[in-house]
Amino acid sequence: MFTTKHFIWIGICILFILIMNHYAKKEDFTLQNACYFFMFICLLSETTKMMSDMIPSVHGGMHLNPQSLPFHICSILLFIAAYITFGKDGPLKQKMINFFAVVGTCGGIAAILIPTYGVEFNVANVYQCFMYHAALTWFSLYLIRFKHANLGMQAFKDNLVVLFALLIFNWLN
Count Cβ atoms within 10 A of the Cβ of residue 46 and give its class: 0-12 exposed, 13-18 middle, 19 or more buried.
middle
Q: What is the pTM of this model?
A: 0.86
Mean pLDDT of 38-46: 90
| 39 strand-pairing partners | none
Tens of pLDDT, residue by residue over 81-120, are 999 999 999 999 999 999 999 999 998 999 899 887 789 9
> Is the per-residue pLDDT at 32 higher than 70?
yes
Amino acid sitting at position 160: L
How many Å apart are CA 108 and CA 37, to the nearest integer? 17
How many Å apart are CA 54 and CA 48, to the nearest integer? 10
Label residue 65 by pLDDT band (50, 70, 90): low
How many Å apart are CA 100 and CA 81, to the nearest integer? 8
